[in-house]
């Protein structure tokens, strides 16, 4: 076991021993994708105890008998869960992954078997190869789909953040009947005054170690407080970052919840309907600034989305 001192790892001068809680295989799989019935997992939810570098091969004893050997190198477990939780694709059936050159880049929402809605900045680089992955809550699993057509909002401008929407026409189509995935409907009408929060899901970074952003193996979901636009704008300097009337902002004042890199293009959901597409914000784990979404329920965007979906069928 290593001791932490000012973010540096320090080896103890003598042998150390601790009691570590054993968790179920299912719970362990929310941290590590490939866990089998032949393995035992331990995890301290108070984040004070656990094995580390140099502990591999060491014994785990139960009632004085050898139960397991510490066989894996130490993997990082989220020290700051930020209010989010692991979920299955059945719980968020409308979400897909957007890959850039084969690696996770953004999230997207299923509007129909052939159409994915995401942020335009997620697919704007013509030098990159983009694709869509559906059907799994694990980061590196799922069914791959080729992007046949990319329809970017005609008034999208990369440096101004506005109109940050794109529709992806994919092949083969997503099976929304027998697969875990389902399409989601656009919210229709203005957001009601009592809309205090929305649900966001994605595979974006959720932990940091020595300045390096780390990403979960499994889809995560969190509830984010919605704030008004004037308060949202007060956090950002004009004219560099403009919050438009067609935007929705979320912000957790406690700084425990929010979006990070890899969450762009992902869905903000209210009453089981899509109200927002993640566009911009701080995208860091300190969550000092609001997250800004394109309001897809706004008549300007709703009409554009519906018109372009009709054109590609």
Which candidate in 134, 164, 279, 287 is catalytic? 164
C-alpha angle 106-261-240 in degrees, rounded to nearest 5: 105
Which candidate in 121, 137, 153, 298 is catalytic? 121
264 is catalytic: yes
81 Cβ partners below 8 Å, 6+ apart?
206
125 is catalytic: no
164 is catalytic: yes
Q: Quick count: other Cβ atoms within 10 Å of Cβ 255?
A: 14
Q: Quick count: other Cβ atoms within 10 Å of Cβ 102?
A: 10
Residue 300 has phi, psi (to 5 degrees) of -60, -45
Q: How many angstroms separate the Cα of 2 from the Cα of each of 12, 48, 70, 119, 196?
A: 7, 11, 15, 42, 43
Which candidate in 105, 134, 221, 264 is catalytic? 264
Cβ pair 151, 78 in contact under 8 A: no
Rounded Cα distance, 203 and 198, in Å: 17
Please list the active-site residues: 121, 164, 264
């Amino acid at each position: 076991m290593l001791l932490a001192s000012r973010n540096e790892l320090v080896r103890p001068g003598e042998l150390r021993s601790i009691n570590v809680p054993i968790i179920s295989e299912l719970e362990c799989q929310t941290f590590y994708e490939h866990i089998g019935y032949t393995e035992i997992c331990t995890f301290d939810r108070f984040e004070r105890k656990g094995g580390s570098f140099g502990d591999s091969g060491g014994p785990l004893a139960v009632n004085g008998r050898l139960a397991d050997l510490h066989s894996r190198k130490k993997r990082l477990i989220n020290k700051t869960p930020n209010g989010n939780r692991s979920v299955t694709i059945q719980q968020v059936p409308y979400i897909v992954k957007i890959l850039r050159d084969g690696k996770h880049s953004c999230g997207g929402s299923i509007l129909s078997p052939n159409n994915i809605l995401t942020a335009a900045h997620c697919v704007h680089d013509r030098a990159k190869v983009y694709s869509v992955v559906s059907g799994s809550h694990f980061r590196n699993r799922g069914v791959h789909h080729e992007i046949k057509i990319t329809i970017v909002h005609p008034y999208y401008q990369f440096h101004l953040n506005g109109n940050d929407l794109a529709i992806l026409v994919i092949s083969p189509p997503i099976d929304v009947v027998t697969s875990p995935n389902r399409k989601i409907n656009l919210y229709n009408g203005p957001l009601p005054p009592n809309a205090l929060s929305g649900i966001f899901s994605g595979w974006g970074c959720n932990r940091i170690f020595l300045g390096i952003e780390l990403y979960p193996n499994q889809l995560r979901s969190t509830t984010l407080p919605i704030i008004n636009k004037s308060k949202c704008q007060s956090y950002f300097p004009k004219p560099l970052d403009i919050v438009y009337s067609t935007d929705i902002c979320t912000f957790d004042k406690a700084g425990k919840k929010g979006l990070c890199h890899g969450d762009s293009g992902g869905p903000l959901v209210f009453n089981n309907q899509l109200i927002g597409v993640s566009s911009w914000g701080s995208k860091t784990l300190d969550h000092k600034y609001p997250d800004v979404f394109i309001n897809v329920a706004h008549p300007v965007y709703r009409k554009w989305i519906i018109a372009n979906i009709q054109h590609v069928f």
